[in-house]
Amino acid sequence: MKKSIAIVILSTICMSSGAMAASHEGVAKPYTCGFSDIMSIQAPAGATIQNLTSTGGLKAVISPVNHGFLIEDNGSCQDGTVTATIGTNSTNYSTVQLTDGPYLWNPNVMNVKNVGNIQYQSMNHPVGSNQYTLLFK
């Protein structure tokens, strides 16, 4: 009797955990291939995306609509790196390296190189969204 009660309790806990995980899928980023993240840039006047590259399983595309760029799965369903340089000229810029992928809930800022007056501050995003803002001052 005790053994069957324990099995029922354990089964209920496992099913609840699975339901919770399923309810979070697709909120910010599904744990599947074909994801995309929208990166907006908030920077001093005159700052633009000077360079944008991607490696691994990602492709990065400049998006003039949101003054930023898109990070997308390139079809390989693997993590990768995006490097973005935001600045006003060759003496005032910030280079930010992000990792992202289908099994990462959010992109991660891994490396930052600030040169001159443009300084990376942080990355913000609304909970449950695939829209992020990179903040520079």
Residues 6+ apart with CB under 8 A from 11: none
Q: What is the pLDDT of residues 82-103, one digit of tens each?
A: 999 999 999 999 999 999 998 8
How many of the other CB atoms lie within 10 Å of CB of 97?
A: 16
The span from the CA of 65 to the CA of 93, in Å, is 21
Find tokens 């992928």 and name the residue.
101
Q: Are 55 and 80 in contact, with CB atoms under 8 Å apart?
A: yes
Q: What is the largest CA-CA distance in the chain?
A: 74
Q: What is the pLDDT of residue 4?
A: 45
User: In the predicted model, is pLDDT for residue 112 greater than 70?
Assistant: yes
**Band of pLDDT at residue 31, cut at 50, 70 and 90:** low
Closest CA to 115 of 134, 92, 135, 89: 92
Please report the domains of the chain, with CATH numbers, ordered by start residue.
Answer: 31-136 (2.60.270)
Tokens of 101: 């992928």
* Highest mean pLDDT of the ranges 6-10, 15-19, 86-90, 102-106: 86-90
